[in-house]
Amino acid sequence: MSERTTDKTYTLIDDGGSYYTDQDGVSSETPNSWLWTEILGGCGCGTSDELAEEAFKLLSHFATPMDQRGDTLCHDKFYELMAHWFDSKELIEHGSSVMYPWLTEKGEQIHRAIKRIEEAKEDDNG
């Protein structure tokens, strides 16, 4: 259970076209790019699409109950860097080590918003 709470509700809606719109009316090309640019504050240049995908994979990892995660990522420097970044954006909370975090309420809302879009796309394709 997260200790950090948020007064804001994070949502993402497929506008039926080629964009996704969040709770503030900001549009993004993909759910992952929303996470990368609007939530984490990254820019959209370079390999941002790939980094955005990795960021969502890690957010999903943190959404997995700790006893089901395994510890292979815990020794990865990218994992640790992203964990610190997620912590600074209040997406995760941790006890004695940032290497074993859980999602905050904000992190849970953002993960659910992206997951719903991804699941809806899978249902439409399959």
pLDDT, tens digit (0-9, with 9 covering 90-100), for 16-70:
878 999 999 999 999 999 999 999 999 989 999 999 999 999 999 999 998 888 7
Confidence bin at 5 (pLDDT 50/70/90): low
Fold of 12-125: Arc Repressor Mutant, subunit A (1.10.10)
Confidence of residue 1 (pLDDT cuts 50, 70, 90): very low
At 81 the pLDDT is 92
* Pairing relationship of beta strands 92-93 and 102-103 according to DSSP bridges: antiparallel
Indicate whether this model's pTM tops 0.85: yes
Give the Cα separation of 101 and 125 in Å (integer).
33
The amino acid present at 37, given as its one-letter code, is T
Helices in 11-67 by DSSP H: which ranges?
31-33, 48-63
- Alpha helical stretches, state H, 7-104: 31-33, 48-63, 77-88
Beta bridge partners of 92: 103
